[in-house]
Amino acid sequence: MKSLFPAVSLLALLVANPVLAAGEHDSHHPAGSSAASVKAPASEGTVKKVDKAAGKITIKHGPLANLGMPPMTMAFRVSDPAMLDQVKAGEKVSFTAENVGDALTVTALEALK
């Protein structure tokens, strides 16, 4: 029984090792797939303000499920300043907001007709 204990202990450490577990977990997914590669869903809202100097847009929006946010009006950074030329205050938009580098950022923006 004593000679079995070290082998069982070693096996338990290998199974519980998070590095090995992560490597094994990744092997079940096709190459290139990860949670980071999943595109955030688009939301709709109304542009309240466009601040080109600050690189921000203020949007009154519904719930943002991917960010766990309730409906509100808030300012977002934009991933591409050219987005701010595509819309103006009062327009309804479809947009994607994500947490990029700890800043809530609009990563896709389209005016709705």
- The tens digit of pLDDT for each residue in 36-94 reads 456 788 999 999 999 999 999 999 999 999 999 999 999 999 999 999 999 999 999 99
Q: What pLDDT is attached to residue 25?
A: 45
Rounded distance between C-alpha atoms, residue 91 and residue 105, angstroms = 19
Q: Which of 98, 31, 110 is nearest to 64 (CA)?
A: 98
Q: Which of 35, 72, 79 is nearest to 56 (CA)?
A: 79
Q: What average pLDDT does this structure show over 22-44? A: 57
Q: Are 111 and 86 in contact (CB under 8 A)?
A: yes
Rounded distance between C-alpha atoms, residue 83 and residue 59, angstroms = 13
Q: What pLDDT is attached to residue 1?
A: 53
- Domains in the chain (CATH in brackets) are 4-36 (no CATH), 40-111 (2.40.50.320)
